[in-house]
Amino acid sequence: MSAVRTLVDLLAGRADAATLAPRDWDGVISVARAEAMLATLAHHLRDTGLPPAVAALFADQRAAARVAQAQALWEVEMARRALAPQGIEFVLLKGAAYAAAGLSCSEGRQIGDLDILVQALDVRRAENALLNAGWEWVKSDPYDDFYYREHMHELPPLIHSVRDRMIDVHHTILPLTHRKTPDALALVGDAVATVDGYAVLCPEDMAVHCAAHMIADGDLQGGLRNLWDFHCLTRDFASADPGYWGKLDGRAAMHGLRGAAHRSARLARDIYGAVLPPGWDRHDPADLWFRRRLLARDDWGRQTDFLLQQAFYIRSHWMRMPPLMLAKHLWTKWRKGHNPASRGTSSS
Amino acid sequence: MRHSARIQVGPVRFRIGSDWRAPIAAIEALYVDYPRDDARPADATVHLFAARPWRRWLRPSVHIGGDFVVPDALPLPLAMGLLAAEMGMNLQVALGWRRHLLLHASAVARDGRAVILSGESGSGKSTLAALLGEGDWRLMGDEFTLIDPASGDALAFPRAVSLKNEAIAEMTARVDAARLGPLLAGTPKGDIRHLVPRADAIAAMHVPARPALILFPRFGGEAAIEPMGEGEAFVRLTEASTNYTALGEAGFAALARLVRGTPAFGISYPDSATGMALVERLWGETAR
């Protein structure tokens, strides 16, 4: 069996870590690293019978993730100290939110840039407050800057001059040019507070955002990790609130993201063995391509299936902007000598 | 990948995959006498690959990848595949290793106590350590020294020493030719030739040593010794560490303990013989 299959089987509880041979671990460790899930796996398998070398490596990963999370949460506090005096309220998104709220998917989860959501009318003031508090523009070219400001759901990234950490200030969760327009006012208005007093999206919106980020926005880079987030979030919220799936369905429909939420739930069932609520099962032939894209890694952790990757890359842009605008954007990028295949999921 | 090798250096087990046979054969030849534990999975993975399929044969150039990559790293010609493997291994340790505080430093040990030599490339730290390792010192490593946060001990990373430029002639005159790798002429880092550490140093690669002396060598100029305060040694070693920040409080505690318990000196020396004599002198006078 391929290493990526073994990885998801271990996470889903379909495979027993004790039965893996050393050569199997080689591949699983490489693939988990490539998916930024090694520390997640280390948490998931912490009390199982592991070979001593794997147990030692996993202990390293858990310790490193603890430090990285403490640093990420410190960055959250730094943002609060910059924005609170100006009366700007912000909602934490993604990794920082999961960690601040102590959710199970945050165990071992890598947290990249700090993502925050503010009301659209506060964006300019938030930008100024951050610039005054030591953040600065990441050097970028005028077209990228224009593009972000005109069409994106976030400001161009800011980096702190001393701590060297990035912050992305969002005013909604999908690009403004995207075919779907989530209700940004509701996202902020219905946010809930953590025990430490930080705001995070309400449980339904948190899963909707996770699904939107994975299915409706990006090209499924890092998709296994995002899908794991979605799986853990919905499983835990549903076990605390029997009505959760129904509320999620309604909330996703309100944001225009019902399809993304349902597809995420089906993929979580297919890949991580999640329990699908009644009425959510549906046969969609395209799920096959999503599954293939999610599992497109060889035993050395390298991306495979180049054409499928490209297809998802083009799809992500197709959803993000109308055709004429896409053509103009790609033409500008091409003339500037950017290589679209090497760019991430940002404005390219 | 088509070809692969597994080797272990100190606490790190590597898996190296390659589109070509040659770099794997070169790595296996160099590391043939290192202890093996094939039941142990790899901690770190290196890929040596052709960016386009035809570049495996047509002007073959080796790209360096792995668990951790440096964007825009330049590829090397296939003749320098061994150097590509070495760079890939260093990169994985520098960016991925979290068990110990990682110092970009060479080290030698005697009687279970270690001298750590930290300096930028060109400071002569590798050559000094290699030369001392041919005498009555045990070579712990020419590139990385690992500090165990729990015990404060130094751990060895005795990879094949990367001899550069003038150091090649200096060492080849002293050692058995069987311990030398092929000459890699005209690499981006100049001429390079690898030296396999002595068998006793390889056999002892898992044996920790207590830090006894920290030296910051500087090649060139009059022979001089300059005592260094704990604060300066601390700051210099944070700069010499690739994972100090990532380790957080554990890294701070390990480094603070190291500089508080270990005398530190800057040394300048005009030639290797003087450098070695300075190390011996400081060892005799101050190492504790």
Name the residue of chain A whose CA is nearest to B40's CA: A22
Contact B41 A25 (CB under 8 A): yes
Strand-strand pairing, B44-49 and B12-18: parallel
Closest CA of chain B from A266, distance in Å: 30
Looking at the complex, does the CB of residue A14 fall below 8 Å from at least one CB of chain B? no
Residue A116 exposed, middle or buried by CB count within 10 Å (0-12, 13-18, 19+) = buried
Is the CB of residue A61 less than 8 Å away from at least one CB of chain B?
yes
Contact B181, B164 (CB under 8 A): no
pLDDT class for A340, splitting at 50, 70, 90?
very low
Res. A151: pLDDT tops 90: no
* Contacting residues of B for A29, CB less than 8 Å apart: 41-43, 45
Contact B17 A300 (CB under 8 A): yes
The answer, for B148 touching chain A at a CB cutoff of 8 Å, is no
Question: Which amino acid is it at B276?
Answer: M
pLDDT in tens, B49-87: 998 888 888 889 999 999 999 888 889 999 999 999 999
Asked if residue A347 is part of any domain, the answer here is no
- Name the pairing type of β-strands A192-193 and A135-137: unpaired
The answer to whether A74 contacts chain B (CB < 8 Å) is no
B42 touches A at CB < 8 Å: yes
Q: Assess if residue A72 is contained within a domain.
A: yes
Q: What is the pLDDT of residues A91-115, one digit of tens each?
A: 999 999 999 999 999 999 999 899 9
Q: Flag if A33 and B67 touch (Cβ within 8 Å).
A: yes
d(CA B110, CA B209): 8
E-strand stretches of chain B: 3-9, 12-18, 44-49, 61-66, 76-77, 101-110, 113-118, 138-141, 144-147, 154-155, 161-164, 184-187, 190-195, 210-219, 224-228, 264-269
A67 touches chain B (CB under 8 A): yes
% of residues, chain B, pLDDT over 90:
89
What does the pLDDT look like over B14-36, one tens digit per residue?
Answer: 999 999 999 999 999 999 999 98
Report, as an integer, the average pLDDT of B146-154: 98
Could B98 and A60 be called an inter-chain contact, meaning their C-beta atoms sit closer than 8 Å? yes
Q: How near does any CA of chain A get to the CA of B159, in Å?
A: 20
Q: How does pLDDT run across A275-304, given as a tens digit for each residue?
A: 999 999 999 999 999 999 999 999 999 999
Q: Given pLDDT bands bounded at 50, 70 and 90, which one contains residue A45?
A: very high
Which pLDDT does position A319 carry in this prediction?
82
Three-state SS for B185?
Answer: strand
Residue A336 lies in a domain: yes
| Number of domains into which chain A is organized | 1
Higher local confidence (pLDDT), B231 or B57: B231
Task: Judge whether A264 and A230 are in contact, CB under 8 Å.
Answer: yes
Q: From the list A26, A61, A64, which residue is nearest B15 (CB)?
A: A26
Q: Could you tell me the two tokens for B143?
A: 């590139």
pLDDT of residue B287: 61
Nearest CA in chain B to A302: B66
Region of poorest pLDDT, from A147-151, A313-317, B123-127, B252-256: A147-151
Query: Cα separations (Å) of B146 from A174, A236, B96, B133?
Result: 45, 41, 13, 18
Interface touch A51/B38, C-beta < 8 Å: no
Q: B286 pLDDT exceeds 50?
A: yes
> Any bridge partners for residue A347, and if so which?
none
CA distances from residue B193 to B42, B85, B87, B140 in whole angstroms, order as listed: 26, 14, 14, 18
pTM above 0.90, yes or no: yes
* Residue B67 token pair: 């668990």
Going from N- to C-terminal start, the domains of chain B cover 3-96, 101-286
pLDDT at A348 over 50: no
What is the extent of the structural domain holding A249? 3-342
